[in-house]
Amino acid sequence: MSPSNLASVAVGRPVRGEFTYVVPEGLSGRLSPGQRILVPFGRSMSLGFFLGPATPPPEAESVKLKPIMKVLEDSPSLPPDLIALLRFAAEHYRYPLGEVIKSALPPGLTKTEMEKEAKPDVQEFAVALVTEAPAILRRAPAQSAALAYLLAVGGRAPLEEVAHAIPGARETLRKLVERGLVRIDEEVIAPGVKEGLGQGRPAQLTPEQDAAVKELHTAIDTGGFQPFLLHGVTGSGKTEVYLRAVERALSHGKGSLVLVPEIALTPQLVGRFRSRFGADVAVLHSALKDRERLFHWQALRKGTVRIAVGVRSAVFAPVENLGLVVVDEEHDPSFKQEDKLRYQARDLAVVRAKQAGAVVVLGSATPSLETLENTRRGRYRKLELKNRVDDRPMPTISLVDLRQERPREPLAQEEAPILSAPLLDAMAETIAKGQQVILFLNRRGHSTFLICEVCGTSVKCSECDVCLTYHRSQNRVVCHYCGVAHPLPDHCRECTGPLLKMGVGTERVEAEVAERIPQARVARLDRDSATSAERLTEMLASFARREIDVLVGTQMVAKGHDFPGVTLVCVVMADTSLAIPDFRAAERTFHLLTQVAGRAGRGKDPGRVLVQTYNPEADPVKRMLVHDFDGFAQRELERRKVLAWPPYTRMAAVRLEGESAEQTASVARQLGDFLARQMPPASWGVRLLGPAVAPISRIRGRTRWQLLLKAPTHAALAPLLARLEMKLVDIPSAVRVTIDVDPAAML
Ligand code: ADP
Ligand code: ZN
């Protein structure tokens, strides 16, 4: 058999490796790499992806080769540079290639059907044909209201929006059309994309922006892989730098890929891209419908849309002729996917840029230590924005030492208060000036645990090794790991003693603000209140319209928001994220505190930040107080070096989970022994930690164990992981084993 008769195929099934198939005569000449095909696999048919010609396997095996049954599309869904990236991901993260490809494609393309063309949406716009209401409308108040609305928003608005603002507007507008005062236009729009609330192009860049933009322009003009870190303090105008770089890439006919942590939390950034580049932007977020996803994929693939802005999975968007990759807030933990293909999108973005010969910009006010170390080693070039736009000052930050500053006299409830006098005074003062407050606490619920006053037993989940959180709005205790909820117990199960509500959550902070500052309009933003993307958008919009004075929330309030009315940010408890048993706890604390502090003083009024803490001496707390990121990073990097943690070590976590505690423990030991026997020579520096019970020893009734592998380079780990993967075939299926390469969370 000649090699051209053989095809290498990734099968869309959870199986390792590439498979060889025969190309039947009728299909030869019709195949190109990246095409979706249909192949026999096992006893049934399966979706496959043609990767290229294959080299013939040994004689004996060639006999059994099966033919490709069908080609499902004329032009390949997967462009060549994406195939290269997906191959890398499968290899690096130890995940079956076919499954990797399936997770990259929109659901519409993972079925074994012929490709369908996704249709765009049509949106109706009402356009005013006059510049003021004529006299004849005086006796038609509804019509004059609808027209007034249109004129107030610039003479043109989506019909849907007018109908939303004014009840019955559809009918009213029809009457206005009859009078020749309004026209209805139909426009083709990309589905799932709403008009963005944009901001104009600033007349002038700041000198620092200008310098950064110049360097990026030169890099884009030259072409080729060039990685940059854009380290800019909060409010320094990083987005404008991205926009100018995207413009430059477009001027060379090149596409751009922009990754952001969470679209719903960054509507302003998306709005700026939409208002600058209009329909040339595909917005890829997790709430898209299947059909919308398919539409964007096809538009990008055809090159009719050249910019993709999206969340982590957008790293796989088929942008044509890629010239620029941007990762905004590159330190954000949401770039790591925590199930199935456990990839880090920021890392894959750099790999993709390298493979495509593109410029890549990683932007942040608090870069990850991994990125910082790459910059220190000269792998990435650093661009710095040390000042805020318009010479606005950085917020002043002060500490409230909770060991000295007892919160004011008990409330008319059983719990001790949590808001100290300086916090309450500052909040009242800010609200009196008509300005806004953000109150940050990274814990949901009312009380984070219940403890018996007599015997000290805490109320735990029966299925998980964690304490239950009390949610007052539901009057229930809830497990934040498995979601189980029970009515609030009225006494201790062990000794019938009374239960104390301990550990503060956002729900309780909200209640205390309402009680202490009755004149304040308070709202809470966390996963319990923002139950849908729409609800979240609505809350953020309402805060932006200043209908809310105090916004209490979890890290959802800390993200890249730009609310000019916010002049006070309070951190209710800086210590919550410090105590987590994870080597990244200090880094994460520093990031969170700096990000949330960065929400203050972004408008014309200067901002201030108050941080309540029991640990005023903790390094991240002390350093963020004086905006000393470099000092913090320096010290933290030294500590990581001494303790051999990333970025000085590459890691892989092997996690086990099983119903039976004995069986899981025994498999963990078995894998531990296997790895110990397979260890490469000591000079490679590979180390095995464990097996050990995971820090959270049980979730959903399943016992958890883990093994950690550390090595100076990923290359030293890779062969060991490959052998481990083969070994997993022998493991009883009752114990689930996952390999997490470059793990983010240690719990
Ligand atoms: P960052 O992402 O660095 O926190 P943003 O990109 O959100 O900052 O910019 C902060 C604010 O400054 C935004 O409202 C933005 O529109 C505005 N801005 C950015 N660049 C300029 C400029 N050159 N002149 C005036 N305003 C600017
Ligand atoms: Zn539970």
Query: Distance (Å, rounded) from C-alpha 387 to C-alpha 208?
Result: 8
DSSP output for 559-570:
SS---TTEEEEE
Q: Does 126 reside within a domain? A: yes
CA-to-CA dists, residue 415 to 410, 418, 501, 611, angstroms: 7, 9, 7, 21
Q: Does 195 reside within a domain? A: no
Distance 487 CA to ligand 2 centre (A): 14
CB-side exposure of 251: number of CA atoms within 13 Å?
10
Residue 60 pLDDT: 61
Distance 732 CA to ligand 1 centre (A): 55
Tens of pLDDT along 468-510? 999 998 899 999 988 899 999 999 988 999 998 888 899 999 9
Average the pLDDT over each of 291-305, 402-416, 572-586 and give the range with the smallest value: 402-416
Q: Give yes or no for residue 58 having a pLDDT over 80.
A: no
Q: Which residues line ligand 1 (CB under 6 A)?
A: 199, 202, 204-206, 209, 232, 234-240, 389-390, 560, 562
The domain boundary, picked from 463, 486, 501, lies at: 501
Q: Does 425 reside within a domain? A: yes
Query: Distance (Å, rounded) from C-alpha 531 to C-alpha 267?
Result: 17
Residue 266 pLDDT: 74
**Residue 349: both structure tokens together:** 């973005």
Q: Please report, rounded to a whole number, the percentage of residues in the chain having pLDDT higher than 90.
A: 61
The domain boundary, picked from 501, 523, 542, lies at: 501
Answer yes or no: do 94 and 215 share one domain: no
Answer yes or no: do 300 and 234 share one domain: yes
Answer yes or no: do 597 and 623 share one domain: yes
Given the CA of residue 562, which atom of ligand 1 is nearest to it? 7
Q: Does 388 reside within a domain? A: no
Mean pLDDT of 363-384: 96
- Number of CB atoms found within 10 A of residue 168's CB: 11
Q: Give yes or no for residue 167 having a pLDDT over 60.
A: yes
User: What's 45's domain CATH number?
Assistant: 3.40.1440.60
Q: H or E element: which one contains 552?
A: strand 550-553
Would the annotation count 467 as a binding residue? no
Q: Give yes or no for residue 122 having a pLDDT over 80.
A: no
Burial class (CB in 10 A: 0-12, 13-18, 19+), 701: exposed
Mean pLDDT of 124-146: 85
Strand stretches in 474-513, DSSP E: 476-478, 485-487, 499-504
Virtual torsion, Cα 512, 514, 516, 518, nearest 10 deg: -170
Query: Distance (Å, rounded) from C-alpha 349 to C-alpha 344?
Result: 9
Mean pLDDT of 309-324: 96
Answer yes or no: do 169 and 239 share one domain: no
Ligand in closest contact with the CA of 700? 2
Answer yes or no: do 492 and 526 share one domain: no
Is residue 329 within 8 Å of 559, Cβ to Cβ? yes
Tens of pLDDT along 550-565? 999 998 888 878 889 9
Matching residue, tokens 């080299």: 55
Given the CA of residue 232, which atom of ligand 1 is nearest to it? 3
Ligand in closest contact with the CA of 699? 2
Query: Distance (Å, rounded) from C-alpha 594 to C-alpha 587?
Result: 11
Query: Distance (Å, rounded) from C-alpha 568 to C-alpha 545?
Result: 17
Answer yes or no: do 33 and 98 share one domain: yes
- φ, ψ of residue 80 to 5 degrees: the values are -60, -40
Residue 140 pLDDT: 86
Nearest-10 crossing angle of helices 207-222, 238-251: 30
Answer yes or no: do 155 and 295 share one domain: no
Nearest residue to 647 via CA among 380, 363, 426, 290:
380
Residue 407 pLDDT: 61
Answer yes or no: do 438 and 537 share one domain: yes
CA-to-CA dists, residue 696 to 461, 464, 492, 582, angstroms: 12, 8, 23, 12
**Residue 593: both structure tokens together:** 């505190």
Would the annotation count 570 as a binding residue? no
Query: Can you say whether the dihedral through the CA atoms of 262, 268, 269, 273 is positive or negative?
Result: positive
Mean pLDDT of 13-19: 88
Q: Does 274 reside within a domain? A: yes
Distance 273 CA to ligand 1 centre (A): 13
Q: Strand 182-189's sheet: what is its strand order?
A: 156-158, 121-128, 182-189
Distance 391 CA to ligand 1 centre (A): 11
Confidence of residue 413 (pLDDT cuts 50, 70, 90): very low
- φ, ψ of residue 39 to 5 degrees: the values are -130, 150
Tens of pLDDT along 588-631? 999 999 999 999 998 889 999 999 998 888 889 989 889 899 99
Reduced to 3 states (helix: H, G, I; strand: E, B; else coil), residue 506 is helix
Query: Distance (Å, rounded) from C-alpha 584 to C-alpha 605?
Result: 34
Q: Give yes or no for residue 2 having a pLDDT over 70.
A: no
Q: H or E element: which one contains 586?
A: helix 585-597
Q: Which residue has the higher pLDDT, 34 or 193?
A: 34
**Residue 128: both structure tokens together:** 């005013």
Query: Distance (Å, rounded) from C-alpha 621 to C-alpha 576?
Result: 12
Q: Which residue minimizes the CA distance to atom 16 of ligand 1?
A: 199
Calculate the average pLDDT of the chain: 89
DSSP output for 513-540:
HHHH-TTS-EEEESTTT--SHHHHHHHH
Answer yes or no: do 495 and 368 share one domain: no
Instruction: Quickly list H helices, 200-266.
Output: 207-222, 238-251
Tens of pLDDT along 640-695? 999 999 999 999 999 999 999 999 999 999 999 999 999 988 889 999 998 999 98
Tens of pLDDT along 327-372? 999 999 999 999 999 999 999 999 999 999 999 999 999 999 999 9
Query: Distance (Å, rounded) from C-alpha 708 to C-alpha 221?
Result: 44
Is residue 319 within 8 Å of 81, Cβ to Cβ? no
User: What's 702's domain CATH number?
Assistant: 3.30.70.600
Distance 432 CA to ligand 2 centre (A): 43
User: What's 627's domain CATH number?
Assistant: 3.40.50.300
Tens of pLDDT along 236-247? 999 999 999 999
- β-pairing verdict for 6-11 and 44-53: antiparallel
Given the CA of residue 598, which atom of ligand 1 is nearest to it? 4
Query: Distance (Å, rounded) from C-alpha 550 to C-alpha 509?
Result: 11
Q: Which residue minimizes the CA distance to atom 12 of ligand 1?
A: 237
Residue 136 pLDDT: 84
Burial class (CB in 10 A: 0-12, 13-18, 19+), 746: middle
Burial class (CB in 10 A: 0-12, 13-18, 19+), 556: buried
CA-to-CA dists, residue 697 to 47, 296, 444, 664, 691, angstroms: 38, 42, 22, 11, 13
Instruction: Look up the domain containing 256 and give its range.
Output: 207-376
Residue 114 pLDDT: 63
Ligand in closest contact with the CA of 696? 2
What is this structure's pTM? 0.86
Query: Distance (Å, rounded) from C-alpha 487 to C-alpha 482?
Result: 16
Query: Distance (Å, rounded) from C-alpha 742 to C-alpha 249?
Result: 31
Tens of pLDDT along 74-105? 899 999 999 999 999 999 999 999 999 999 99
Q: Which amino acid is at 565?
A: G
Distance in Å from the first CA to the final CA of the chain: 52
Ligand in closest contact with the CA of 701? 2
Q: H or E element: which one contains 639?
A: helix 629-643
Q: Does 383 reside within a domain? A: no
Answer yes or no: do 437 and 453 share one domain: no
Matching residue, tokens 């009242």: 428
Q: Which residue minimizes the CA distance to atom 9 of ligand 1?
A: 237
Answer yes or no: do 430 and 530 share one domain: yes
Q: Which residue minimizes the CA distance to atom 2 of ligand 1?
A: 238
Answer yes or no: do 327 and 270 share one domain: yes
DSSP output for 665-680:
HHHHHHHHHHHHHHPP
Mean pLDDT of 51-72: 82
Distance 238 CA to ligand 1 centre (A): 7
Q: Which residue has the higher pLDDT, 249 or 114?
A: 249
- Number of CB atoms found within 10 A of residue 529's CB: 20
Given the CA of residue 328, which atom of ligand 1 is nearest to it? 2
Q: Which amino acid is at 32?
A: S
Q: Does 311 reside within a domain? A: yes
Query: Distance (Å, rounded) from C-alpha 358 to C-alpha 369?
Result: 23
Whole-number CA gyration radius for the chain: 29
Tens of pLDDT along 511-552? 999 999 999 999 999 988 888 878 888 888 899 899 999 999
Query: Distance (Å, rounded) from C-alpha 713 to C-alpha 686?
Result: 9
Given the CA of residue 206, which atom of ligand 1 is nearest to it? 23
Query: Distance (Å, rounded) from C-alpha 525 to C-alpha 552?
Result: 6
The domain boundary, picked from 104, 137, 169, lies at: 104
Tens of pLDDT along 425-434? 999 999 999 9
- φ, ψ of residue 257 to 5 degrees: the values are -125, 125
Average the pLDDT over each of 193-207, 260-274, 325-339, 710-724 and give the range with the smallest value: 193-207
Total domain count for the chain?
Answer: 6
Query: Distance (Å, rounded) from C-alpha 607 to C-alpha 669?
Result: 55
Distance 466 CA to ligand 2 centre (A): 7
Q: Does 117 reside within a domain? A: no
